[in-house]
Amino acid sequence: MSYENLAGRTAVVTGAASGIGEATAVLLAEQGARVALLARRGERLEAIAGKIRADGGQALAVVADVTDDASVAAAVERVHTAYGAVDLVVNNAGVMLPNPIVDARVDEWQRMIDTNVTGVLRVIGAFAGDLDEAAAQGRSADLVNVSSIGAHVTGFTNYAVYGATKAAVTHLSALLRNEFGPRGVRVTNIEPGLTESELATHIDNDGLRAQVGGMVEAMGTLAAAELADVVAYVTSRPRHVNLRQVMVLPTAQV
């Protein structure tokens, strides 16, 4: 499929070493965007960026940790040096660590808050000026935040803190439209359901990991490329069209 208005754009994708982030970076590059891939795993990023370049695209691998101020600042400098200002930001980095609240896993709570909420804010703050500049010049400017269906669904027992962090991202996205929208910057919040990713591999509770496997077996999953297709679609609309919130689920997930 071909998308209009993506060729010549400059994109940043966080969490780009796997899953939705990787698929999004690959698709945007295929459509002619210059893409900076941000994540912590340097070797993995270099491999993906190398494949993009081998296929004729433009890609920059940038090792960055969204939970660290200095790391994000260094990433911004590297992106600006290589590509200049950015006009498309995909906030995809995230972590899911479910456990019963009675276990009081403060380490997990903090990690999810630092990555899923504060990390998203760091990236937005780092590139907000770029997005404003692009819009002021009459060009498309997009902020895409990847949240989760968990922001709304309360039936996922033991996922309370994860769901709360994603609810924060969903609400943040809605509120940011008040700031960005009048200046011509689009804000889109995407809420995937069950999707192929590495999220479940971080779960250290055997029972909960098996529960995720059972859900996948019963309802199926979305492919990461299908979420990338959604990102490419919303960011390729005419610049006066903002798809502000998109919920994407496997058909069997209720």
For the annotated catalytic residues, the residue numbers are: 162
Distance CA 206, CA 223 (A): 24
Instruction: Record the tokens describing residue 79, joined without a space.
Output: 């992106």
Task: Give the distance from CA 164 to its chain's centroid.
Answer: 17
Of 12, 21, 40, 6, nearest in space to 224 by CA:
21
Instruction: Record the tokens describing residue 149, joined without a space.
Output: 């269906």
Distance CA 203, CA 54 (A): 35
Distance CA 92, CA 198 (A): 13
Instruction: Record the tokens describing residue 10, joined without a space.
Output: 């400059």
Instruction: Record the tokens describing residue 208, joined without a space.
Output: 């909960």
Distance CA 209, CA 217 (A): 13
Residue 25 to residues 30, 112, 162, 166, 184, Cα–Cα distance (Å): 9, 23, 25, 22, 24
Of 126, 41, 133, 1, nearest in space to 75 by CA:
126
Provide the 10 A C-beta neighbour count for residue 105.
18
Degrees (nearest 5) of the Cα angle 231, 21, 218? Answer: 85
